[in-house]
Structure 1
Amino acid sequence: MDNRKLVRSSTDSYIMGVFGGLGERTGMDSTILRIIFVVLTVATMNIFLVVLYFIVGFIMPTDDETDRTAGRPSEPFDSDSF
């Protein structure tokens, strides 16, 4: 079983990184997930999907935040920082 958490991507991000993180977690291409979301939103004319996207974006931690909370530095150690 995969123990990775679902987090927003800080590298594969257009608006908030939700689909970038979802793509990394599921192994799917994030562009495909974005296209599916846009088509589904336009086809159903459901503004709730857009609101839900932003709610999830504010709730999900970014991958940088999870590195800090786990006690690991988010950037590699640099001896010049002393």
Structure 2
Amino acid sequence: MAVEGDIVFSRKPDLGAEPPPSVFPHWVHRIRFKCYVCHDAIFKMKKGANPITMEALMAGRYCAVCHNGSISWPVGFETCQRCHVRP
């Protein structure tokens, strides 16, 4: 469930209702890391400037730079519910 400060990503309408959209807990990351850890090295600080797709994540880009199984839990079909939750 999304809370204040979370980023809820939009989905393409043709994808249907499942899985639910991804929710990024920005506030959790802000508590643990300085802004420069992610910006601008991994993510551009402009809404819509980061085309985050499952293909990009599986290629080790965006969230998967850290969510790789070594630094943090890995992105994959076993961990879908970590990001895809009802807002």
Higher helix share: 1
Higher strand share: 2
Question: Which structure: larger Rg?
Answer: 1
Give yes or no for TM over 0.5.
Answer: no
| Greater RCO, 1 or 2 (C-alpha within 8 Å, sep 6+) | 2
TM, length-normalised to structure 1? 0.28
